[in-house]
């Protein structure tokens, strides 16, 4: 596909408010072709790359941050942004609900609320509010969208099973796990308190943070978050994480989704693997031949194709959609907020990771928006973005959703469409909120068969791991010291990810001291959370292992090499002569 011509553009600043001029601009916006449609090439946005056909070069104008934006184009690109982040927003509540044994109604609520909260808190990040009587801001003022963080999934999948063991989550008479809303409330309460760390970090200069938490520390953390999540994705791909495991009597894997369900089969059956594979193939096809708008939404298109195939083959159940209410909103269901001590340290690590990811994402957004990536304005956007990220984490917890963080995939949309206009970001927020309010949409997402969902989430989680690799790759070249620190942190990180119960039997205390039990549970949870132990160990190693000294001067010219070789030959001749004399 031919590259679209890029042109540099000067960022216009927002003008002072003039009521008469504003009314005139609004009238023109809704009554003229230029205001509604503009001169954008919509065909280039929707035309796929057809094999053996040459695509024409198309000039696309660049829409700066505060420039004018046609209504139709703003709505289309805003929808594109919302679709690009949709899969990432809905995945955490779906997996968390499965871990906490929530019923269909509660799962639908969490998916709806996640969409609404992402839309509302993206408004906070994009609006950029100045804190009165200070030099600080809240928000970046860019198209910096936020969504539920994947990092919390690894904590919850480790903490909730621990809560079932220590009695914080209920079980029935036969020992089967029941729904655990109090455990989820404890995660939310702990998250709200731990968000104070990122809020405090926002007042530290970004350069200082990058020195304390370099890629050597954050790269392995992001890599291990993705590596742990891939396991959950593959279990769902095979039929479902809840039915993964062999039967002690038959020796076969469990029946998915359950015995008697339509199209039930053994975990890992060919039809389940095929459903997930259809999602993967569609994503690859969109990336290779898709139009620009398809490439940025490839994951959600793959999910849609997988759903169509599953529906045609009879894997869908519409009972949940029929039972879902017409509309929903946050606080329809609430949870008792408490603090669960063992989660504090891993949750603090999550907020450090969120802060480092936010710095990288805001820098990338500034770059594709053709704004400075250094200087006072850039530093101000980093400070405002981190402060909004921390505040959003606290607000999201109070809105019954796990912490949110700045998303990166929307930078690709800005780059492809050449549109960094903030009005598009507001359209994106509008679509996310509407999707969340109409709970039938959330119910349809919840009813997606696990193999289809697994095909999509495995791709997303692997991209998280690749992001960690790309962060580590910025260490160029990787020195001996870097290799040593990476080995130390990844040793425990990969070990606890591959063998998650390796530390479960280290402590043998069974007394009545609940405080001591909670302290020991905290140590176990950190040691069995791969990214947490890797992050803490990498931070300590980076501080105590000294930097390497110079490795010697490099010979710069051929004459130096020749002189060096001649000197070496003469030395050998003298040594041979002395040996023969002896």
Of these ranges, 159-163, 252-256, 391-395, the one predicted with the greatest mean pLDDT is 391-395
Q: At 392, give phi and psi (nearest 5°).
A: -65, -35
Report the distance separating Cα 436 and Cα 564, nearest Å.
Answer: 73
Whether the Cβ atoms of residue 144 and residue 362 lie closer than 8 Å to each other = yes
Report the distance separating Cα 375 and Cα 373, nearest Å.
Answer: 7
Mean pLDDT of 181-193: 94
Tell me which of 67-71, 277-281, 438-442 is least confident.
67-71
Half-sphere exposure of 203 (CA within 13 A, CB side): 9
Nearest CA to 367 out of 407, 409, 420 is that of 420
Cross-strand bridge partners of residue 130:
137
Cross-strand bridge partners of residue 255:
266
Judge if the upstream peptide bond of residue 354 is cis by omega within 30 degrees of 0.
Answer: no
Report the distance separating Cα 359 and Cα 353, nearest Å.
Answer: 10
Is the pLDDT reported for residue 400 higher than 80? yes
Q: For the segment 270-294, what is each residue's pLDDT rounded down to a tens digit? A: 999 999 999 999 999 988 888 888 8
Question: Angle at which helices 151-166 and 215-237 pack, to 10 degrees?
Answer: 70
Q: Which residues contact 465 (CB under 8 A, 6 or more apart)?
A: 222, 223, 225, 226, 227, 230
Tell me which of 252-261, 309-318, 333-342, 550-559 is least confident.
550-559
3-class SS string, 211-227: HHCCHHHHHHHHHHHHH
Is the pLDDT reported for residue 6 higher than 80? no
Give the per-residue pLDDT at 174: 79
Mean pLDDT of 98-123: 93
Report the distance separating Cα 220 and Cα 224, nearest Å.
Answer: 6
Whether the Cβ atoms of residue 142 and residue 343 lie closer than 8 Å to each other = no
Nearest CA to 419 out of 296, 581, 531 is that of 296
Give percent of the chain with pLDDT exceeding 70: 86
- Radius of gyration (C-alpha) of the chain in whole angstroms: 27
Q: At 307, give phi and psi (nearest 5°).
A: -65, -40
Report the distance separating Cα 33 and Cα 27, nearest Å.
Answer: 12
Give the per-residue pLDDT at 488: 93
Residue burial 345-361, b: 16+ Cβ < 10 Å; e: rest: bbbbbbbbbbbbbbbbb
Give the per-residue pLDDT at 113: 95
pLDDT band at residue 4, thresholds of 50, 70 and 90?
very low
DSSP 304-359: HHHHHHHHHTT----HHHHHS-S---TTSS-------GGGHHHHHHHHHHHHHHHH
Report the distance separating Cα 250 and Cα 177, nearest Å.
Answer: 23
Report the distance separating Cα 54 and Cα 70, nearest Å.
Answer: 29
What is the number of other CB atoms lying within 10 angstroms of the CB of residue 574?
10
What is the number of other CB atoms lying within 10 angstroms of the CB of residue 437?
18
pLDDT band at residue 10, thresholds of 50, 70 and 90?
very low
Q: For the segment 477-527, what is each residue's pLDDT rounded down to a tens digit? A: 889 999 999 999 999 999 998 898 888 888 887 777 777 877 888 888 888
Residue 434 CA to chain centroid, in angstroms? 22
Report the distance separating Cα 504 and Cα 523, nearest Å.
Answer: 10
What is the number of other CB atoms lying within 10 angstroms of the CB of residue 230?
19
What is the number of other CB atoms lying within 10 angstroms of the CB of residue 467?
18
Q: How far is CA 421 from CA 124, 198, 405, in A?
A: 16, 28, 21
Backbone φ/ψ region at 62: left (φ over 0), alpha (ψ -120 to 50), beta: beta
Report the distance separating Cα 146 and Cα 58, nearest Å.
Answer: 32
Q: For the segment 402-414, what is each residue's pLDDT rounded down to a tens digit? A: 999 988 778 878 8
Q: For the segment 455-473, what is each residue's pLDDT rounded down to a tens digit? A: 999 998 898 899 889 889 9
- 122: helix, strand or coil: helix
520 CB-contact burial (10 Å; exposed 0-12 / middle 13-18 / buried 19+): middle
Whether the Cβ atoms of residue 66 and residue 11 lie closer than 8 Å to each other = yes
Give the per-residue pLDDT at 575: 47
Mean pLDDT of 46-55: 73
Whether the Cβ atoms of residue 217 and residue 542 lie closer than 8 Å to each other = yes
Q: Where are the beta strands (DSSP E) in 30-170?
A: 129-130, 137-138, 146-148
Is the pLDDT reported for residue 9 higher than 50? no
Whether the Cβ atoms of residue 253 and residue 268 lie closer than 8 Å to each other = yes
């Amino acid at each position: 596909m031919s590259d679209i011509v890029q042109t540099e553009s000067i960022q216009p600043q927002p003008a002072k408010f003039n009521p008469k001029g504003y009314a005139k601009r609004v009238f023109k916006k809704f009554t003229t072709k230029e205001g509604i449609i503009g001169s954008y090439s919509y065909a280039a946005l929707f035309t796929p790359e057809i094999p053996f056909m040459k695509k024409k070069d198309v000039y696309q104008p660049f829409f700066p941050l505060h420039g004018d934006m046609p209504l139709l184009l703003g709505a289309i690109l805003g929808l594109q942004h919302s679709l690009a982040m949709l899969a990432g927003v809905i995945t955490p509540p779906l997996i968390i609900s499965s871990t906490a044994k929530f019923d269909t109604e509660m799962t639908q609520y969490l998916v709806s609320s996640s969409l609404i909260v992402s839309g509302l808190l993206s408004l906070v990040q994009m609006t950029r509010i100045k804190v009165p009587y200070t030099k600080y801001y809240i928000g970046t003022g860019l198209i910096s969208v936020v969504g539920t963080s994947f990092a919390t999934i690894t904590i919850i999948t480790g903490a909730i099973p621990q809560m079932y063991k220590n009695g914080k989550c209920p079980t029935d008479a036969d020992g089967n796990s029941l729904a655990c809303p109090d455990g989820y409330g404890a995660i939310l309460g702990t998250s709200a308190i731990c968000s104070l760390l990122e809020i405090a970090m926002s007042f530290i200069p970004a350069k200082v943070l990058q020195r304390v938490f370099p890629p050597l520390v954050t790269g392995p953390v992001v890599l291990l978050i993705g590596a742990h999540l891939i396991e959950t994705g593959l279990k769902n791909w095979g039929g479902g994480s809840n039915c993964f495991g062999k039967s002690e009597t038959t020796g076969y894997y469990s029946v998915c989704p359950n015995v008697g369900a339509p199209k039930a089969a053994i975990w890992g059956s060919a039809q389940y693997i095929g459903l997930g594979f259809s999602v993967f193939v569609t994503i690859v096809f969109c990336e290779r031949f898709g139009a620009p708008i398809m490439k940025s939404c490839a994951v959600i298109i793959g999910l849609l194709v997988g759903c169509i195939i599953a529906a045609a083959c009879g894997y869908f159940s519409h009972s949940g959609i029929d039972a879902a209410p017409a509309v929903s909103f946050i606080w329809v269901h609430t949870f008792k907020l408490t603090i669960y001590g063992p989660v504090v340290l891993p949750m603090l690590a999550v907020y450090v990771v969120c802060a480092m990811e936010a710095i990288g994402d805001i820098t990338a957004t500034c770059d594709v928006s053709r704004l400075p990536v250094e200087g006072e304005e850039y530093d101000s956007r980093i400070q405002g973005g981190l402060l909004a990220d921390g505040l959003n984490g606290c607000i999201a917890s109070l809105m019954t959703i796990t912490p949110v963080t700045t998303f990166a995939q929307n930078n690709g949309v800005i780059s492809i469409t050449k549109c960094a206009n903030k009005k598009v970001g507001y359209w994106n927020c509008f679509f996310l909120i509407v999707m969340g309010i109409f709970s039938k949409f959330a119910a349809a997402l919840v009813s997606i068969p696990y193999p289809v969902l697994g095909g999509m989430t495995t791709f997303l989680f692997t991209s998280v791991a690749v992001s960690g690799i790309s962060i580590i790759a910025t260490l160029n070249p990787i020195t001996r010291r870097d290799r040593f620190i990476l080995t130390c942190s990844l040793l425990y990180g990969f070990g606890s990810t591959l063998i998650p119960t390796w530390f479960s039997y280290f402590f043998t205390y069974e007394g009545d001291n609940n405080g001591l039990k909670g302290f020991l549970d905290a140590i176990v949870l950190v040691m069995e959370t791969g990214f947490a132990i890797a992050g803490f160990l990498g931070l300590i190693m980076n501080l105590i292992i000294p930097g390497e000294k110079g490795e010697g001067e490099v010979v710069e010219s051929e004459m130096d090499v020749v002189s060096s070789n001649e000197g070496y030959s003469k030395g050998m001749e003298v040594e041979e002569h002395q040996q023969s004399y002896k």
